[in-house]
Amino acid sequence: SMARGLVGARQQSIERAKDLSAEHQIQLKQIESNELDADLASVISEMTARQAALQASLQLMGSASKLTLFNFI
């Protein structure tokens, strides 16, 4: 009957909307994951650079503390 046809068409429309919504959720989770991965890589890179700078500073301080007036004469 006509009513069943309309109900069937609406059910299909609802199912398509649900599928589309699920696809969008997957895409958003992928985007979020990519952003978090990028941020993590950036943080690791910056921390590595800071660690290298700290080590260089500590080595310089260690070398300077070994100097005496005799080194300058």
Q: Which amino acid is at 4?
A: R
Distance CA 6, CA 12 (A): 10
Residue 72 has pLDDT above 80, yes or no: no
Q: Which amino acid is at 41?
A: A
Q: Which pLDDT band holds residue 37 (cuts at 50, 70, 90)?
A: confident
Residue 69 has pLDDT above 70, yes or no: no
Q: Which amino acid is at 32?
A: E
Over range 6-34, report the average pLDDT: 89
Residue 38 has pLDDT above 80, yes or no: no
Return the pLDDT at 21.
92
Over range 38-50, report the average pLDDT: 86
